[in-house]
């Protein structure tokens, strides 16, 4: 059978810790302990089992539910929120094959967790409900104790089948330690089934079955038995001896070179270990042990919650370990190997081989508030304090005659290549040569008077930094830099010359700067740096920079900084160290020199608010395994969705929340993330420690959400976790609707186009008919005029002509005056008649009243004339519309009314009629109404049109005036013609 890695891990993780009461302080400081209880998210503080599944989650069974832990958040499963859980109080948990979990609840049911589903296993699977008392597992095989018999889970049949060794003559009981196995008695022997292994022990002397209260077996198959009188005996193949003394056993702990002991306390077989936490010895009652895949040890306890035990990356020396004071500032590595540390409120400590061997304080002549340390070429230790300068040689403190010419303390002490002593203060730089002091300030060329760090490079140049900028002294040449000249900040706190001879500066608030090719290259938080503070920069043997700040210590790779400077990389990858790595205080101290040191073994010493943090870069563990990133759950409009690879948003749903995590349990709080929603985000979104993505009002479509993680050592996920999103469009944006709508629109457009074509054809036909009628009317009018000219006017002119000839021919004949007069009167009469007929013809062509009287009075005259020429009682009510239309349009309005009256007079057979003209600001309304017989359904003329030529002509003229015309007619009631015309005073018809 192939071994199950999670089962191996679980079995191997039963490494029970030992009790070592008098551990050296150096050993205690190697580990760090983190605790979780019910107050920090654990369902309950009594742990009954722990398993890390292959996906990386840590599962913790408690007396109030099951918790899935990613190192940051607990996801709790209990009876209230998880179908399949019959009781929230769990008594044991073991791993099955793959990602399976098997749990025994307090109501004696066995629950199987498979692919995220919780299922109680009952009678259909071979065990009776409420009959399971214990469970154990080994390499994916699972056994349960059902009543007094042992059964094994058959994966192929999914049935529990009675184990071969569980014969009818044996009645098995549960081993007292949860999840370990079962025991039974046969004669004077104890049969123990421990994590898949069948063991046989002799009963101890003086013990019998009726007096046994419990049996336990550890992971190394060592067993103990307890009796009702409170005694305990070690089991073996020979009869043991019962004793009331606590028993113990040792196993390898986190380090293979150290033994840790576990106490077994009778009569309840409690396991106890002592853990030193923050300098205090804590007694823990052990219930479960789990080693994860990153070598962290997880300890479950009785009532004290869950503990994670890790190897510390840093060791801390504080007052508890003999330091003069906790608050440490300057730290110096002497050439002889000692480390010297200056503290506040007072004291200087000498440290050798990691142990404080001497302290010097005010009692020995060292004033309080130590500000700087330096070892000169002769090996003399110089000490700057707020009480002046002191030197220390062979344990003797002296007070040299150094006048700093001010009240400031020496913030940095240095020795120039020529042997001169340099003391940087808040008031400038004091140079002491041959017992003569000389003060240098900004007046002498320094960038600042507040001097805090001095370095001599391999060329012999002096670099002087402080709060105000940086100065380089090259012989007599002085070069100054400030922020305006490219420095990351004017507040310089540290200077480093790297192994290649380049100069680096650290600042209080602007990051770090690299002086290359005469220019400063800046690295700060915007480029990925952990913090803009750089109080000290130390370089290790692998060319990595270790930098202290107010937020802790962080590490960057020099090669990567060069890559960012050259544009080969975009962002800096850092590794941060803090409380999770053993620092008691993450706040490092700086501004007083030196703010950290590197010893001959490569260890780095950084001063903090609470002691000195010591890091050995060669021994710092690196989490080389990439974090496994997973999408945990999804919420749509705040509602939790069922886990699936694809999530669908309906049209009414507007927001989606995607919760993701990375499964690395060493420093989960320092894991950073970036994600991208393809189709929405153009680039990866760097979101830091945030573990939820939010999107709202996504357009309809298909999207893929991808997320990556990076652990605290800069190792990124190999694969992205993905979730597909489908945003369903609202019904009117779906393909079927769009297709249908397009079809309908095209159909409507086609119908409208056909109707419009039909209307255009009808309009063209009406226009043709009207044109034909108009031409026919013109020809008829010409014929009428011609006939009138010929028949009336022409005849009268002939008569006049003949009468005139008659007079001419009768010249010389005797005619009486009466005859002449009669002839002339006849000629005059004919001429008058001809004139009148000429006027009538002219009126038919254009009424003279329009020009003489105006439009309104001409229409009124027309109405009067029509009334006189008919028996119809014709009335009129006319508003003045003379200025409502351009003069060239007056004839059209006149003809419209004329045609309407003609229709009334000729066809209506009415007794009364009325012509009314109303005027508003923007419109003229003409109505012609009669009480006649109404209009016929069909036109009177054979030509196409509505209502005959008169009505057709009226419509054409109304259309020409941009108006509208409506005819209402009922047989026997009469006809009403309503014409609406827009006023257009300034419009001229062309």
What is residue 862's predicted lDDT score, i.e. its pLDDT? 87
Closest CA to 630 of 120, 231, 22, 70: 70
Which ranges constitute the DSSP H helices of 698-789?
735-787
**pLDDT, tens digit, 9 for 90 and up, residues 227-283:** 888 888 999 988 888 888 877 776 544 443 354 678 888 888 888 887 665 556 667
The mean per-residue pLDDT over the stretch 45-57 comes to 96
**Token output for 578:** 């803090």
The mean per-residue pLDDT over the stretch 657-669 comes to 94
What is residue 986's predicted lDDT score, i.e. its pLDDT? 44
Sheet holding 396-398, edge to edge: 370-375, 381-385, 388-393, 396-398
Sheet holding 536-539, edge to edge: 536-539, 544-549, 552-557, 574-577
pLDDT exceeds 80 at position 590 = yes
Handedness of CA 731, 733, 734, 736 (dihedral sign): positive
Classified as helix, coil or strand, 24 is: coil
The Cα-based distances of 251 to 14, 17, 192, 855 in angstroms read 9, 7, 21, 125
Q: What's the CA gap between 134 and 174, in Å, rounded?
A: 6
The mean per-residue pLDDT over the stretch 32-39 comes to 91
Q: What's the CA gap between 273 and 262, in Å, rounded?
A: 6
What is residue 838's predicted lDDT score, i.e. its pLDDT? 72
Identify the bridge partners of residue 252 per DSSP, sorted by sequence position: 259
410 contacts 384 by C-beta, under 8 angstroms: yes
Angle made by CA atoms 870, 876, 878, in degrees to the nearest 5: 145
What is residue 32's predicted lDDT score, i.e. its pLDDT? 79
Q: What's the CA gap between 349 and 345, in Å, rounded?
A: 13
How far separated are the first and last CA of the chain, in Å rounded? 105
What is residue 790's predicted lDDT score, i.e. its pLDDT? 61
Classified as helix, coil or strand, 431 is: strand
Q: What's the CA gap between 525 and 506, in Å, rounded?
A: 13
Q: What's the CA gap between 529 and 511, in Å, rounded?
A: 8
pLDDT exceeds 60 at position 653 = yes
Which of 43-52, 247-256, 720-729 shows the lowest per-residue confidence on average (mean pLDDT)? 247-256
pLDDT exceeds 60 at position 563 = yes
What is residue 589's predicted lDDT score, i.e. its pLDDT? 98
The Cβ of residue 38 has, within 10 Å, a number of other Cβ atoms equal to 15
**Token output for 32:** 């760090």
Classified as helix, coil or strand, 330 is: strand
Residue-wise DSSP of 906-962: III--SEEEEEEEE-SSEEEEEEEE-SS---SS-SSSSSSSSHHHHHHHHHHHHHTT
**pLDDT, tens digit, 9 for 90 and up, residues 738-797:** 888 888 889 999 999 999 898 888 878 877 776 666 676 666 666 766 666 666 666 667
pLDDT exceeds 60 at position 325 = yes
Tell which wins on pLDDT, 937 or 15: 937
Closest CA to 378 of 429, 426, 335: 335
The Cα-based distances of 848 to 141, 318, 423, 778, 883 in angstroms read 122, 125, 122, 20, 18
Strand blocks (E) in 416-491:
421-425, 428-433, 436-440, 451-456, 462-466, 469-474, 477-481
How much of the chain exceeds pLDDT 90, in percent?
61
691 contacts 648 by C-beta, under 8 angstroms: no
The Cα-based distances of 41 to 35, 198, 870, 928 in angstroms read 11, 39, 108, 92
Contacts of residue 634, Cβ cutoff 8 Å, sequence gap at least 6 = 640, 641, 647, 656, 657, 658, 659, 723
pLDDT exceeds 60 at position 223 = yes
**Token output for 619:** 């021994």
Contacts of residue 246, Cβ cutoff 8 Å, sequence gap at least 6 = 232, 263, 264, 265, 266
Contacts of residue 819, Cβ cutoff 8 Å, sequence gap at least 6 = none
Handedness of CA 204, 208, 209, 211 (dihedral sign): negative
Residue 124 has φ and ψ, to the nearest 5°, of: -65, -15
Closest CA to 338 of 351, 356, 321, 347: 351
What is residue 827's predicted lDDT score, i.e. its pLDDT? 78
Report the run of H or E that residue 189 belongs to, with start and end: strand 189-194
The mean per-residue pLDDT over the stretch 836-863 comes to 77
Q: What's the CA gap between 323 and 334, in Å, rounded?
A: 17
What is residue 820's predicted lDDT score, i.e. its pLDDT? 73
Classified as helix, coil or strand, 845 is: helix
What is residue 815's predicted lDDT score, i.e. its pLDDT? 63
**pLDDT, tens digit, 9 for 90 and up, residues 804-832:** 777 777 665 556 777 777 778 777 777 77
The mean per-residue pLDDT over the stretch 505-515 comes to 98
What is residue 812's predicted lDDT score, i.e. its pLDDT? 55
Q: What's the CA gap between 425 and 167, in Å, rounded?
A: 88
**pLDDT, tens digit, 9 for 90 and up, residues 446-474:** 999 999 999 999 999 999 999 999 999 99
What is residue 816's predicted lDDT score, i.e. its pLDDT? 73
What is residue 842's predicted lDDT score, i.e. its pLDDT? 62
Report the chain's mean pLDDT, rounded to a whole number.
87
Instruction: Give the range with max mean pLDDT: 501-505, 838-842, 846-850, 928-932.
Output: 501-505
**pLDDT, tens digit, 9 for 90 and up, residues 608-651:** 999 999 999 998 888 888 999 999 999 999 999 988 899 999 98
What is residue 211's predicted lDDT score, i.e. its pLDDT? 83
What is residue 16's predicted lDDT score, i.e. its pLDDT? 32
Angle made by CA atoms 759, 763, 769, in degrees to the nearest 5: 145
pLDDT exceeds 90 at position 150 = yes
Q: Are strands 421-425 and 428-433 parallel, antiparallel or unpaired?
A: antiparallel
828 phi-psi bin (left φ>0, alpha ψ -120 to 50, beta other)? alpha
**pLDDT, tens digit, 9 for 90 and up, residues 407-448:** 679 999 999 999 999 999 999 999 999 888 899 999 999 999
**Within 13 Å of residue 599, how many CA atoms lie on the same side as its CB?**
21
Classified as helix, coil or strand, 892 is: helix
Which of 26-40, 51-65, 233-247, 934-948 shows the lowest per-residue confidence on average (mean pLDDT)? 934-948
The Cβ of residue 867 has, within 10 Å, a number of other Cβ atoms equal to 17
What is residue 540's predicted lDDT score, i.e. its pLDDT? 96
What is residue 10's predicted lDDT score, i.e. its pLDDT? 36
pLDDT exceeds 80 at position 27 = no
Q: What's the CA gap between 91 and 172, in Å, rounded?
A: 18
What is residue 714's predicted lDDT score, i.e. its pLDDT? 84
Closest CA to 150 of 218, 198, 186, 201: 198
What is residue 784's predicted lDDT score, i.e. its pLDDT? 64
Angle made by CA atoms 955, 956, 962, in degrees to the nearest 5: 90
Q: What's the CA gap between 486 and 472, in Å, rounded?
A: 15
69 contacts 292 by C-beta, under 8 angstroms: no
317 contacts 608 by C-beta, under 8 angstroms: no
Which of 89-103, 174-188, 229-243 shows the lowest per-residue confidence on average (mean pLDDT)? 229-243
What is residue 588's predicted lDDT score, i.e. its pLDDT? 98
pLDDT exceeds 90 at position 696 = yes
């Amino acid at each position: 059978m192939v071994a199950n890695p999670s089962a191996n891990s679980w079995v191997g993780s039963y490494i029970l810790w030992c009790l070592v009461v008098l551990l050296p302080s150096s050993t205690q400081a190697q580990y760090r302990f983190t605790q979780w209880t019910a107050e920090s998210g654990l369902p309950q503080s009594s742990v009954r089992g722990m398993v890390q599944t292959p996906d990386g989650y840590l599962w913790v069974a408690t007396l109030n539910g099951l918790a899935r832990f990613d190192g940051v958040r607990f996801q709790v499963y209990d009876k209230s929120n998880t179908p399949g859980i019959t009781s929230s109080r769990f008594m044991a948990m073991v791993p099955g094959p793959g990602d399976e979990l098997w749990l025994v609840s307090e109501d004696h049911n066995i629950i199987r967790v498979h692919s995220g589903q919780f299922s109680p296993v009952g009678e259909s699977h071979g065990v009776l409900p409420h009959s399971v008392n214990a469970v154990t597992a080994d390499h994916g095989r699972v056994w349960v104790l059902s009543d007094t018999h042992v059964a094994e889970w058959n994966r192929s049949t999914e049935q529990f089948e009675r184990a071969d060794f569980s014969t009818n003559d044996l009645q098995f009981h549960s081993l007292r330690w949860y999840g370990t196995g079962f025991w039974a008695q046969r004669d004077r022997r104890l049969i123990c089934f421990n994590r898949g292994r069948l063991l046989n022990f002799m009963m101890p002397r003086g013990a019998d079955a009726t007096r046994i209260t419990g049996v336990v077996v550890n992971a190394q198959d060592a067993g103990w038995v307890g009796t009702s009188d409170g005694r305990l005996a070690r089991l073996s193949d020979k009869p043991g001896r019962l004793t009331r003394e606590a028993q113990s056993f040792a196993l390898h702990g986190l380090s293979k070179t150290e033994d840790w002991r576990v106490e077994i306390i009778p009569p309840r077989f409690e396991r106890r270990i002592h853990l030193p936490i923050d300098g205090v010895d804590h007694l823990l009652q052990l219930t479960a042990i789990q080693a994860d895949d990153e070598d962290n040890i997880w300890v479950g306890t009785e009532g004290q919650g869950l503990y994670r035990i890790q190897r510390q990356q840093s060791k801390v020396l504080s007052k508890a370990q003999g330091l003069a004071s906790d608050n440490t500032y300057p730290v110096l590595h002497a050439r002889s190997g000692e480390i010297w540390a200056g503290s506040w409120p007072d004291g200087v400590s000498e440290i050798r081989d990691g142990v404080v061997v001497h302290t010097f304080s005010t009692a020995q002549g060292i004033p309080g508030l130590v500000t700087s340390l330096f070892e000169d070429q002769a090996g003399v230790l110089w000490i700057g304090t707020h009480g002046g300068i002191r030197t220390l040689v062979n344990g003797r403190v002296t007070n040299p005659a150094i006048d700093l010419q001010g009240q400031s303390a020496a913030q940095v002490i240095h020795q120039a290549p020529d042997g001169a002593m340099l003391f940087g203060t808040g008031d400038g730089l004091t140079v002491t040569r041959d017992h003569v002091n000389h003060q240098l300030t900004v007046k002498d060329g320094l960038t600042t008077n507040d001097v805090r760090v001095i370095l001599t490079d391999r060329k012999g140049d002096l670099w002087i930094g402080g709060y105000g900028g940086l100065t380089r002294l090259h012989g007599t040449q002085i070069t100054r830099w400030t922020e305006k000249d490219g420095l990351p900040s004017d507040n310089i706190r540290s200077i480093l010359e790297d192994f290649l001879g380049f100069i680096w500066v650290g600042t209080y608030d602007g990051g770090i700067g690299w002086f290359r090719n005469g220019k400063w290259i800046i690295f700060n938080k915007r480029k990925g740096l952990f913090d803009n503070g750089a109080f000290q920069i130390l370089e290790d043997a692998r060319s990595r920079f270790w930098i202290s700040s107010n937020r802790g210590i962080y590490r960057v790779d020099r090669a990567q900084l060069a890559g960012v400077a050259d544009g080969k990389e975009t962002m800096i990858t850092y590794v941060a160290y803090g409380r999770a790595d053993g620092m008691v205080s993450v706040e490092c101290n700086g501004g007083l020199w030196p703010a950290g040191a590197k010893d001959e073994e490569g260890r780095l010493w950084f001063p903090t608010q609470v002691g000195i943090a010591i890091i050995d870069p060669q021994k710092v563990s690196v989490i080389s395994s990439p974090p496994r990133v997973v999408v945990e759950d999804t919420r749509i409009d705040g509602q939790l969705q069922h886990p699936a690879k694809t999530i669908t948003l309906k049209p009414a749903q507007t927001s989606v929340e995607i919760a993701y995590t990375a499964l690395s349990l060493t420093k989960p709080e320092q894991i950073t993330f970036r994600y991208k929603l393809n189709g929405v985000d153009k680039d990866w979104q760097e979101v830091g420690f945030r573990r939820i993505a939010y999107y709202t009002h996504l357009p309809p479509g298909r999207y893929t959400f991808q997320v990556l993680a990076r652990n605290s050592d800069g190792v990124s996920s190999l694969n992205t976790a993905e979730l597909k999103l489908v945003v369903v469009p609202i019904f009117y944006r779906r393909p079927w609707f769009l297709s249908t709508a397009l079809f309908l629109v095209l159909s409507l457009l086609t119908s409208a186009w056909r109707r419009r074509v039909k209307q255009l054809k009808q309009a063209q036909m009406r226009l043709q008919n009207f044109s034909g009628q108009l031409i026919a009317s013109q020809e008829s009018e010409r014929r009428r005029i011609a006939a009138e000219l010929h028949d009336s006017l022409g005849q009268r002119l002939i008569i006049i002509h003949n009468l005139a000839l008659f007079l001419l021919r009768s010249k010389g004949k005797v005619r009486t005056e009466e005859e002449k007069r009669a002839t002339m009167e006849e000629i005059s009469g004919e001429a008058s008649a001809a004139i009148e007929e000429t006027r009538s013809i002219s009126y038919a062509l254009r009424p003279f009243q329009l020009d003489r009287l105006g439009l309104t009075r001409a229409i009124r005259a027309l109405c009067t004339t029509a009334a006189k020429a008919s028996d119809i009682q014709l009335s009129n009510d006319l508003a003045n519309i003379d200025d409502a239309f351009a003069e060239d349009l007056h004839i059209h309005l006149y003809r419209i009314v004329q045609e309407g009256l003609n229709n009334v007079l000729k066809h209506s057979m009415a007794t009364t009629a009325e012509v009314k003209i109303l005027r508003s600001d923007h419109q003229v309304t003409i109505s012609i109404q009669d009480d006649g017989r109404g209009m016929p359904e069909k036109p009177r003329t054979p030509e196409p049109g509505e209502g005959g030529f008169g009505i057709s002509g009226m419509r054409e003229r109304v259309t020409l005036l941009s108006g509208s015309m409506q005819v209402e007619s009922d047989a026997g009631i009469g006809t009403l013609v309503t014409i609406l015309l827009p006023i257009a005073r300034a419009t001229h018809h062309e």
